[in-house]
Amino acid sequence: MRSRPRRPPGRPRPTLLARAEVPSGLPRADALALDIARCIPWSHHDLPDAPVLAFRGECGDRATVTLLAALAMFDAVCRMTLVARRLEGA
């Protein structure tokens, strides 16, 4: 099993969602989407098939492709924003 990266000093404790804990009472599709999203920042190359197939079964092919593309773009924008802030402060 892989160890999770340590939180850098001075960073706030992750929220419920950031800790990969799905809040109770969510619709099934939302809970499945969060299960997929939790893999994107740290283990996108190890994204298991099961949550993707479960989301696909619940929402269909188009929604699955849309979700995966949106998560990838969101991750890329967040990373570029972090890099830009570092470059601006350099």
> Which of the four pLDDT bands, split at 50, 70 and 90, describes residue 25?
confident
Q: What gap in Å lies between CA 73 and CA 90, rounded to an integer? A: 26
What pLDDT score does 85 carry? 85
What is the residue-averaged pLDDT of the chain? 83
Question: Cα-flanking dihedrals φ and ψ of residue 22, to 5°?
Answer: -85, 125
Cβ 39 vs Cβ 48: under 8 Å: yes
The pLDDT tens digits of the residues spanning 36-64 come to 998 887 777 788 999 999 999 999 999 99
What pLDDT score does 65 carry? 97
What pLDDT score does 6 carry? 65
pTM reported for the whole predicted model: 0.68
Shortest CA distance to 35 belongs to which of 69, 61, 71? 71
Question: Encoding tokens for residue 83?
Answer: 């890099």
Question: Encoding tokens for residue 64?
Answer: 């699955």
